[in-house]
Structures are given as C-alpha cells and as structure tokens.
Amino acid sequence: MRKLKNEELNRPSIDDYKKTPKLPVTIVLDNVRSMNNIGSIFRTADALLMEQIFLCGITAKPPHNDIRKTALGATESVHWEYYESTIQAIQHLQNLNYNVLAVEQAENSLKLGDFIPDTTQKYALVFGHEVKGVSQDVVNSCNQCLEIEQYGTKHSLNISVCAGIVMWSFFGGF
C-alpha cells in the first residue's frame, strides 16, 4: 500500500470548490473562544461540503494567524458570515426555513445515533463555547437539540471533535 501524494488527490481549486454543490447545512459557532477550534471547524466544513459557517459573539473572524494555522486555507473556500448575536443568526436562518439544531446535552434531545437527516430540509447546527456549551437562551431559540451519546467519565467532547462527528453524520445522511 502506498500513501498518495497531494497532487494525486485531485482536489478542486478554491474557485472550483466554490462552484461545487454544498450540503444544505450551516454551521453556527456560539461564542467559541479558541481560534484553533475555529480553524479546525473551517477545515472540516470544507472537507465535508458544508454550506457555510456563521461566527457569532466572541467567536474570532478570519483573517487571523491562529485560525489560519488549523484551517489551512479553508477560510478562503468556505463561505462565512459574522453576527454579533447568535440569536440574530438563528432567527435569520429560521426565516429561511432552516431547521436549527443546538448540539448540546439537554432534556428531550435527539440522539445523534438515532437521527436521520431529512434530505428535503435545510439544517443549521449550533456549537457552543468550549466550557459553557451552547448558551441557554440560544438553546431556547433552536428548534431542537441534537446530542452525541457519551459513555465515559467526561461529560463533553472538544468542540472541533464534536463538530467533526456531527458534520460527518450529516454528510453520510445526505
């Protein structure tokens, strides 16, 4: 078995990528403080053809060297917008008929392992602060909560790991 060289991967140019049809999934970052996590989420969104990313509140915006380190150019390929308020971003998406799901541990949450995306719907996935998670007022604004079941001693996953798991699940569901 031989590892492929980058030039053998047939990756599209940024211009071609922007023309490629995307999944109808928007990523919303609610006050994410780590620029490394932000960059990692951009990179995963690029890899899995997510439609766009909404950066909200204290979430840093490109260009920034700490985002660039982990995004590896994905801030140029993935469409992004900034909103001062996550709730304003959610209301905007709901007005465009997105089903907005907070990824959070909550009462009556939908378990990711049991969830099958409806391919006729548009989705927005809200990920929260590294320590505090998705804020309660933002959870209240969402249509539902989606939860990754966990069985270890820790009560949470790193946000970039969590986002990668959920984006992969949606990628496989469409």
Q: Domain ranges in the chain?
A: 14-173
Instruction: Give pLDDT tens digits for 88-142.
Output: 999 999 999 999 999 999 999 999 999 999 999 999 999 999 999 999 999 999 9
- What CATH number should be reported for the domain whose range is 14-173? 3.40.1280.10
Give the position of tokens 């378990």. Answer: 111
pLDDT for the residue numbered 174: 82
Three-state secondary structure call for residue 99: strand
Q: 143: closest CA among 167, 109, 170, 173?
A: 109
Segment 62-69 shows an average pLDDT of: 96
100's tokens = 């907005």
Is the per-residue pLDDT at 161 higher than 90?
yes
The fraction of the chain above a pLDDT of 70, given in percent, is: 100
Q: How confident is the model at residue 48 (pLDDT cuts 50, 70, 90)?
A: very high
Is the per-residue pLDDT at 173 higher than 90?
no
Angle at 145 between CA 138 and CA 131, to 5 degrees: 60
Burial code (b: 16+ CB inside 10 Å, e: under 16) for 36-68 equals ebbbbbbbbbbebbbbbbbbbbebbebeeeebb
pTM, 2 dp: 0.97
Residue 159 near residue 123, CB atoms below 8 Å: no
Give the position of tokens 């990711």. Answer: 112
Segment 134-154 shows an average pLDDT of: 97
116's tokens = 């099958």
Three-state secondary structure call for residue 50: strand
pLDDT for the residue numbered 114: 96
Burial code (b: 16+ CB inside 10 Å, e: under 16) for 153-163 equals eeeebebbebb
